Chains A and B, each alone.
Chain A
């Protein structure tokens, strides 16, 4: 089946720095990818929809200047957490629509971000 690779799997950064998370679709093209955030023992909250070649669509309440999304190619979307603060610490997961598993979505393995 389709595979989505997410990197890094975990990262620790200092407050005020920026962190980039990559989401790659392997062996398939993804014109649309989705970025989720998951707090401990909670569900996944959709942050934004990443569209190849155009601006991302952010969900209400998500700061677009804080969470920069770039979808420069059909296989890569990146999420950059800018000027990170401890409250940005979370588990971030991306997904892409699986072209083989019709209507299904393939998820990356997630990135654990800890801001100290």
Chain B
């Protein structure tokens, strides 16, 4: 069965600092991997996704993530944090064996300090 583990329920960075949100997955077949952002009382917005091809994927708002099969990881990064990046971030996985259902990690709350 698929699963997603996000290390750190809370991450705090200073404005302008590097953002690193960690995600490890478990899947018996090549996975499709996603990062979503959620602002309070709102739905989810797709930041980026990995399906096939290039392992370094770029998304919106300056975020990127690298698929590392050997490490079963898909960590999210952004070189310079902005106050508006403060939100909840979810890593997710889906695969053909799972009927393409999306399974979410527990989420990481990102705080950005001025």
Q: Which of A13-21, A69-77, A81-89, A106-114 contacts B (4 or more CB under 8 A)?
A: A106-114
Chain B residues in 8 Å Cβ range of A41: 109
- The answer to whether B74 has its CB under 8 Å from any CB of chain A is no
Q: Which B residues lie at the A interface, using CB under 8 A?
A: 32, 34, 36, 41-46, 49, 51, 90, 94, 99-107, 109
- The answer to whether A78 has its CB under 8 Å from any CB of chain B is no
Q: How many angstroms from the CA of A55 to the CA of B7 in the assembled complex?
A: 37
Nearest B residue (CB) for A4: B43
Q: State whether A107 touches B101 (Cβ < 8 A).
A: no
Nearest B residue (CB) for A101: B46
Chain A residues in 8 Å Cβ range of B104: 43-44
Q: State whether A43 touches B43 (Cβ < 8 A).
A: no
Number of interface residues of A (CB under 8 A): 25
Q: How many angstroms from the CA of A112 to the CA of B43 in the assembled complex?
A: 11
Q: State whether B34 touches A107 (Cβ < 8 A).
A: no
Chain B residues in 8 Å Cβ range of A54: none
Instruction: How many A-B residue pairs have C-beta atoms within 8 angstroms? Tell me.
Output: 53
Q: State the Cβ distance, B19 to closest chain A Cβ, in Å.
A: 20
Chain B residues in 8 Å Cβ range of A104: 34, 46, 49
Q: How many angstroms from the CA of A97 to the CA of B94 in the assembled complex?
A: 12
Q: State whether B43 touches A107 (Cβ < 8 A).
A: yes
- The answer to whether A49 has its CB under 8 Å from any CB of chain B is yes
Q: State whether B105 touches A109 (Cβ < 8 A).
A: no
Q: State the Cβ distance, A62 to closest chain B Cβ, in Å.
A: 13
- Name B101's contact: one of A34, A43, A108, A110 (CB within 8 Å): A34
